[in-house]
Chain A
Amino acid sequence: GDSVTQMEGPVTLSEEAFLTINCTYTATGYPSLFWYVQYPGEGLQLLLKATKADDKGSNKGFEATYRKETTSFHLEKGSVQVSDSAVYFCALSDHWGGGKLIFGQGTELSVKP
């Protein structure tokens, strides 16, 4: 079945460092891809999404490009802040888009001042 694999955490960075969190997927069709973020004690929030190959999703300085040839959707940010500390989840929808989501295991990011 469809699945999502993320790099293991925790990832610890200094403020203003460059961030990459790797995500690869397996899907039989043409899924939409998402990054969600979970701050401590809260539910998940949509960070960005891409619905087709070569699309780039972006939000709050984060970016991810839908790469069909490498089945990847890596999350990047040029300069992280302490407030970016959270758990990041890569996900795909095996349906019309945004419905039944399949999540990766999550990657914890800790940014130190």
Chain B
Amino acid sequence: DAGVIQSPRHEVTEMGQEVTLRCKPISGHDYLFWYRQTMMRGLELLIYFNNNVPIDDSGMPEDRFSAKMPNASFSTLKIQPSEPRDSAVYFCASSQLGEKLFFGSGTQLSVL
């Protein structure tokens, strides 16, 4: 199994631009999570899905952030417009039946 695949690994963009992060969960997993990691705030859960349906998006910072899961094998996290304070590592994770989480390698986002 290839594990959770995230793309891109690194993204550098300018303030105001749209950013789209992508995630392919492990096949057969029915939960998908988006986390953000910063030095100041640690690991924060942004949103999670169960069977492609968003369950809890209370961690999404503001309306500039949106996430979709159009099918069981793909999810996106979009930031529009991006701001320097969005700079962080964004992790996607998946699990089966709410058990052990498998994390992707993350996307390092830098907004200049």
Contacts and interface: CB of A to CB of B under 8 A. Distances in A.
In this complex, the interface size class of chain A, counting residues with CB under 8 Å from chain B, is 20 to 34
Contact of A99 (B95, B105, B106): B95
B99 A97 contact: yes
Given A104-B42, A105-B42, A98 B100 contact: yes
In this complex, the interface size class of chain B, counting residues with CB under 8 Å from chain A, is 10 to 19
B42 A43 contact: no
B56 A44 contact: no
B93 to A, nearest CB: 7
B28 interface: no
Contacts of A43: 4, 91, 93, 103-106
Given A100-B48, A101-B101, A106-B43, 5 more contacts: A43-B91, A43-B93, A43-B106, A95-B98, A98-B101
Interface of B: 4, 31, 33, 42-43, 45, 48, 56, 91, 93, 95, 98-101, 103-106
Interface of A: 36, 41-46, 49, 89, 95-106
